[in-house]
Amino acid sequence: MSGSRLVSCSKLSDRTSFEDYILKLRNFTSDGKSFDQLDACKPEVCTALWGTVNADIAGPGVNSSYIIGNALGYLSLVGLIVYWEVSRYRGRSSLNKKVEEQVVKCIDALHVCVLWFCISIQIASIALLVKVDFGLDATGMEFSTMEITWSVSILALLPLIYLTFLPTDISYRSSSLPNNDFQKPDSVHDPEKETPPSRFVLFRINTIALCWILSIYPFLSRMLETFGPSKIGDGGNSVITTAEWEKIQDLCLSGVSGISDISYKVFLGFGIFGWIWFTLFTTAGLVMVYLCRQRPDSRLIPKFESYFLVTQAQKGSESTPSRRPIVMWIALAVITPMAAGINIWSIFANQKFQQDISKTTGAISATPEWGFGQIVAIIIYGPVCWEVFNLGKVFYQTQI
């Protein structure tokens, strides 16, 4: 009997699409409606629908990398703001010019690491979601796992908001914040001067636009899955009735605390908001590049600089200090980390939900280990560690 059960239940352990899986469940029951008979295959059914923790998407190393990228991006922004405020109070830069240049190298290294990690995450998310959305193979991409995939797609984008708009020169001179990288150089008629924005800024803007383009599919996948026609209900286009679905939920979710409706709405809201927030900054960067290159005398440039740059909105002097972009500082220092924090919370909440289901149903749930992919996700920040080491050397040399 046990062997017969294993053979029959093993057929329910994987699925291609939700529609095909419900059909498979109907074929498994005697009359196509008695879902109570699925109790014998409870672990297989519940795992196929809600899944277990997918280490490739949100294992310990990958989760750590999400947190590290967002934390370092946030600390880079806050650290520079504090440095500029201290320097403004003292009336001069607080650090040696060589130290400032090395700090910029640290930020550049962090930007490149976060960038390539983000591109990798977006491509991986697209590859996984396409298989589910087009009914090719949904094994390993169950309901909770898809929620996690949508969250990590947003989470990988957010650090780029900090790093893309940080200046390439952080020095504080003559009661003035550093010139932003979109401003014209003082010698605008000097042919040797590079037309703003610089090639470094163009690289940052072009790459944030690339990441935005890659993130469109995961975002649309989420929107269609969330707000598209429901496959559960009593309508003519439904795959399974509400009563039948409740029987499956009772089978798998009985005794599981789950994610509350309020938490789910918060996760959904900040997931959508995070993408729109990223889109806003990406669009602003592209518009500023266009205006600086094609219409350098446009009156729109100062307005964009006032709201989307973390350095000065106008050039300062000894008598007229530069105007600090307080609104931009607050937006980046409060709103962006809030969106990141809630998406991180979403990942861990869905993982706990999956683990609770596995414990309740008796399904086999392998503990995520530090495998190849998890280690690579951490080692990707190696160049940042190297530049920070060099920063310590430069700081020590300039202080002795």
pLDDT for 17-36, tens place per residue?
788 888 888 888 766 666 76
The gap from C-alpha 215 to its chain's centroid, in whole angstroms, comes to 9
Residue type, 34: S
Q: What is the pLDDT of residue 306?
A: 63
In this predicted structure, the answer to whether residue 84 has a pLDDT above a threshold of 90 is: no
Q: What is the pLDDT of residue 11?
A: 79
Q: What is the pLDDT of residue 273?
A: 95
Q: Write phi, then psi, for 317 (nearest 5 degrees).
A: -150, 180
What CA–CA distance (Å, rounded) separates 319 from 310? 22
Phi-psi label, residue 111: left if phi above 0, alpha if psi -120 to 50, beta otherwise: alpha
Mean pLDDT for the stretch of residues 41-48: 82
What CA–CA distance (Å, rounded) separates 261 from 106? 42
What confidence tier does 13 reach under pLDDT thresholds 50, 70, 90?
A: confident
- 278 with 302: CB under 8 angstroms? no
Q: DSSP states of 305-321 as a string?
A: HHHH-SS-SS---SSSP
Mean pLDDT for the stretch of residues 356-370: 70
What CA–CA distance (Å, rounded) separates 9 from 25? 10
CA dihedral 393, 394, 395, 397 (to 10 degrees): 90
- 317 with 174: CB under 8 angstroms? yes
Mean pLDDT for the stretch of residues 78-102: 81
- Give the range among 44-48, 54-58, 201-205 with minimum mean pLDDT: 54-58
Q: What is the pLDDT of residue 276?
A: 96
- Give the range among 236-250, 320-334, 339-353 with minimum mean pLDDT: 320-334
- 324 with 177: CB under 8 angstroms? yes
SS3 letters for 354-393?
HHHHHHHHCCCCCCCCCCHHHHHHHHCCHHHHHHHHHHHH
Q: What is the pLDDT of residue 141?
A: 62
| Dihedral sign, Cα of residue 131, residue 136, residue 142, residue 147 | positive
Q: What is the pLDDT of residue 202?
A: 86
Classify residue 237 by its DSSP letter: T
Q: Which residue has better confidence, 136 or 290?
A: 290
User: What is the pTM (predicted TM-score) of this model?
Assistant: 0.83
The gap from C-alpha 175 to its chain's centroid, in whole angstroms, comes to 36
What CA–CA distance (Å, rounded) separates 302 from 332? 19
What CA–CA distance (Å, rounded) separates 82 from 113? 24
The SS3 assignment for 167 reads coil
What confidence tier does 321 reach under pLDDT thresholds 50, 70, 90?
A: very low
pLDDT digits (tens, 9 = 90+) for 164-174: 888 777 776 54
